[in-house]
Amino acid sequence: GQQLNQSPQSMFIQEGEDVSMNCTSSSIFNTWLWYKQDPGEGPVLLIALYKAGELTSNGRLTAQFGITRKDSFLNISASIPSDVGIYFCAGQSDTSGSRLTFGEGTQLTVNP
Amino acid sequence: EAQVTQNPRYLITVTGKKLTVTCSQNMNHEYMSWYRQDPGLGLRQIYYSMNVEVTDKGDVPEGYKVSRKEKRNFPLILESPSPNQTSLYFCASSLTGGGFTEAFFGQGTRLTVV
């Protein structure tokens, strides 16, 4: 099946720092989603992107849909301790119907 | 409150003993799916359902069954669980299988098969 490469796998940062993570694919995607998973919980949608080149913000979070439709990045500005968790990218393509393909996740740790 | 509800949250069972994990959504969503989450592998889709009585295999369907007799429920069945099915399982639903819409996830079921 399709695969998404998400990097980095983990990040350890100080409170107040900015964070950037990205996902790349060998296939073209029509939709990119970014989820956050808190410990013991299910993933929660942060940002959805539907158009190549689209740049969308949600508070301190900004995500972009790559112009080639094969990548996306998520930035978090001025990180705070509650940003801790696993961040997943997910993509949907023409050939996958409503199915989502997920990246392996980025584990973020924020030191106060 | 709009939500996807899974039960149980935690389950320890023995190899070969049939079990069912229930999933229910109250959003009248057409599309429902099951994922398993394993360290370093992200979320992998097990089965999905586009609507009532319509189900199909995801990426890792072996050892699992599902049914969709009603729109709101999508149980995951392990007829003969094995230790390699020890994992964290998530049910998800989204509005429609036609145009894509965001998936909402349940809180997860942590299954241990000994």
Partner B contacted by A102 (CB < 8 A): yes
Cis preceding linkage at A112, omega within 30: no
**Tens of pLDDT along A64-96?**
999 999 999 999 999 999 999 999 999 888 777
* Distance (Å, whole) CA B30 – CA B16: 32
78-97 of A, contacting B, C-beta below 8 A: 88, 90, 92, 97
CB contact (8 A) between residue B106 and residue A43? no
Strands B65-66 and B10-13: unpaired
Q: Cβ(B46)–Cβ(B60) under 8 Å?
A: yes
Q: Cβ(A85)–Cβ(A108) under 8 Å?
A: yes
The yes-or-no verdict on residue B19 having pLDDT over 90 is yes
Query: In whole angstroms, how far apart are CA B2 and each of B25, B29, B82, B114?
Result: 8, 11, 34, 35
In chain B, pLDDT over 90 holds for what percent of residues?
79
How high does pLDDT run on average in chain B?
A: 92
The yes-or-no verdict on residue A98 having pLDDT over 70 is no
Set of chain B residues whose Cβ sits within 8 Å of the Cβ of A98: 31, 48, 50, 94, 96-98, 100
Set of chain B residues whose Cβ sits within 8 Å of the Cβ of A45: 102-104
CB contact (8 A) between residue A103 and residue B42? yes
The yes-or-no verdict on residue B100 having pLDDT over 70 is no
DSSP A9-62: SEEEEETT--EEEEEEESS--SEEEEEEE-TTS--EEEEEE-STT-EEEETTEE
* Distance (Å, whole) CA B87 – CA B109: 8
**Tens of pLDDT along A26-51?**
889 999 999 999 988 899 999 999 99
Give CA angle at A31 (A25, A32), nearest 5°.
60
The yes-or-no verdict on residue B71 having pLDDT over 60 is yes
